[in-house]
Amino acid sequence: MSSESQILKRVPGRKRDEDTRHGILRAAYDLIVEKGFRALTMEDVSDRSRASRSTIYRWWPNKGALATEAYLRELAEETAPDSYGTASEELKANMRTLTHALAGTSGQVLASLLGGARDDPHVLAMCRGMAQGSRRERGRECIRRGIANGEFRPDLDLDAALDALFLPIFVRVLLNLGRCDDEWVDTHASTVMRGMIPNAERAAAEAPR
């Protein structure tokens, strides 16, 4: 099981427990939006969710564990992957979806988590899960499909390609380096993918007209 899946896994139990759990995660996420991760306390989450502190601590040992699960749950809902069209179309669609999420509240919460908990093991595990988890494997499968149908070069390094496509989105949004809209995503994706296509097609695309 990937680290991302371990963070996001749900504790089995009655529906009432799941409703309580969801309410706690929602409260934690909303409080991070309002106050930031540094100011978040388990007492505040208890008051907002109306769940006892003993219930909260039964599921999460500290606020870092709670905050990261709350964030990953929200991000997963906002960035459910699309699967359609060519491999390049699918990658671009998922890049746009991620950009839209990070440009809004999800980006604000992620910046708060990273800024307030650089040494928190749960935040570090969350980052590793985002970089290595099931979402990453879906990206690899998409590129493999592109290689199989001749869309991408057969010698392409899957992880290097994914890093080149997706990591600049995080950097651009979190460091506020400029606009990060659909037009920028398409330009960035096309620039990176120019190095992913077979050499003959790249030569034809770059030939003077």
- Residue-level pLDDT at 201: 55
- Residue-level pLDDT at 131: 64
Give the pLDDT of the chain (209 residues) as one tens digit per residue: 544 445 445 545 567 788 999 999 999 999 999 999 999 999 999 999 999 999 999 999 999 999 999 998 898 888 877 667 899 999 999 999 999 988 889 999 998 988 876 778 888 777 777 666 678 888 999 999 999 999 999 999 999 999 999 999 988 988 888 888 999 999 999 999 999 999 755 544 554 45
Distance separating alpha carbons of residues 111 and 45, to the nearest angstrom? 20
Is the alpha carbon torsion for 169, 101, 180, 95 positive or negative? positive
User: Counting beta carbons within 10 angstroms of the beta carbon of residue 198, is it exposed (0 to 12), middle (13 to 18) or buried (19 or more)?
Assistant: middle
pTM, two decimal places: 0.75
- Residue-level pLDDT at 129: 72
- Residue-level pLDDT at 180: 85
3-state SS of 47-80 is HHHCCCHHHHHHHCCCHHHHHHHHHHHHHHHHCC
* Structural domains in the chain plus CATH codes: 3-73 (1.10.10.60), 81-206 (1.10.357.10)
